[in-house]
Amino acid sequence: MRAEAPAEFTVLPWPSSAGGGSDLDTELGPVQENWSGPLLRCGALLGITVICVAVLRRYIGGGVCHCSSRLDGRTVLITGANSGIGKETARDLAGRGARVVMACRDLTRAEQAAEEIRRGTGNGNVVIRHLDLASVYSVRQFAKDFVDSEDRLDVLINNAGVMMCPKWLTEDGFETQLAVNHLGHFLLTNMLLPMLKSSAPSRVVNVSSIAHHGGRIDFDDLFFSRKPYSPLDSYRQSKLANILFTRELAHRVKGSGVSSFSVHPGIIRTELVRHVMDWFPPLRLILKVPGLLLLKSPWQGSQTTVFCAVTPGLEQRSGSYFSDCAEKDASPEGRDDDVARRLWEESARLVGLKDTC
């Protein structure tokens, strides 16, 4: 019995439309057209958004110190250097070869920060010392020990501060914001002035804030003993005091080789705003994500301080106010020489400083 031959199969062409395209192409065409437009628009919008965010971040980041000056053989003292812009300032100056003395209240955190800086920069000449700016005794003891143990002081950076805290009084009876932000640094600077002069040319950099705009020095009630306490008004007063102190210091040490500068570092993502968050907890969540976009990083915030500490040729601008690595105009209150002189005299009386420059 003979097997039947296998049946032959004919391959027919895919049915097509009159224009040569398949029915499937005809069906998919409108779908592709409907999707391609929105996708292109979304892609363009995303690209523009990324570019805008990058431009905004660069603008918010502000000025950058491009000076490459070395500080080998020089000594820098930075208050509040265990975190935030103080830590970044210490890191930068240690990277330039300076001996960096980190004056901090919390020695545990200070040592952790110092060790990180030593490892990161390869500079083992980074040391910590205890300093509580809220205590006149602590400031005096620190200054005495510093003078006894150090050979020179080329740059003093008064960086430490508190921001809009509740009404607290120090052991000396001073309102905390004015005590820490101004009086402690005023006393420290004056006690170290002889060393700054002997190390000239030398510099004092006071970290202030744009918040000094709107501030006023109330000589009749500096510590809010009579009027209701306002954390914001107190903070503004203390930052204005930084500006006026810088101005009067420049006037008093003119010709000595010591220069003084005040700086606004910008609005920074640091622990300094913790008291503001405590008043209004939802603000912590609201600002968490936008803050990454709209606030400066600690490194960016340190740039103007570094600029004033290392840039050659700034001596002729002693007493000036800087922001984003450029000289700016302080508020009219910050340019009042009569108030600056009166504040100096009152500050000296409060901290018991009889011999000033």
User: Is residue 14 in a domain?
Assistant: no
Q: How many residues does the chain have?
A: 357
Average pLDDT over residues 256-269: 93
User: Is residue 23 in a domain?
Assistant: no
Compute CA distances 204 → 50, 52, 144, 188, whole Å. Answer: 40, 38, 18, 11
Query: pLDDT-based confidence at 237, cuts 50/70/90?
Result: very high
pLDDT at 8 over 90: no
pLDDT at 3 over 80: no
User: Is residue 295 in a domain?
Assistant: yes
Predicted pLDDT of residue 269: 59
Domain that holds residue 84: 70-351
For residue range 50-59, list pLDDT tens digits in order.
Answer: 565 444 444 4
Least confident stretch, 13-22, 286-295, 333-342: 13-22
The fraction of the chain above a pLDDT of 70, given in percent, is 77
User: Is residue 22 in a domain?
Assistant: no
Predicted pLDDT of residue 31: 53
Predicted pLDDT of residue 42: 75
Task: Provide the number of structural domains found in the chain.
Answer: 1
Query: pLDDT-based confidence at 271, cuts 50/70/90?
Result: low
Average pLDDT over residues 298-308: 97
Predicted pLDDT of residue 55: 47
pLDDT at 39 over 50: yes
pLDDT at 276 over 60: no
User: Is residue 52 in a domain?
Assistant: no
Average pLDDT, the chain: 87
Indicate the pTM of the whole model. 0.81
Least confident stretch, 33-47, 96-110, 324-338: 33-47
User: Is residue 205 in a domain?
Assistant: yes
Average pLDDT over residues 227-250: 98
Average pLDDT over residues 199-214: 97
Predicted pLDDT of residue 41: 73
Average pLDDT over residues 146-170: 97
What residue type is assigned to position 106 of the chain? D
User: Is residue 333 in a domain?
Assistant: yes
Q: Which CATH number goes with the domain that contains 115?
A: 3.40.50.720
Average pLDDT over residues 161-187: 97
User: Is residue 111 in a domain?
Assistant: yes
Query: pLDDT-based confidence at 1, cuts 50/70/90?
Result: very low
For residue range 120-145, list pLDDT tens digits in order.
Answer: 999 999 999 999 999 999 999 999 99
Least confident stretch, 72-86, 135-149, 263-277, 306-320: 263-277
Catalytic center residues: 235
Query: pLDDT-based confidence at 38, cuts 50/70/90?
Result: confident
pLDDT at 16 over 70: no
Average pLDDT over residues 108-127: 98
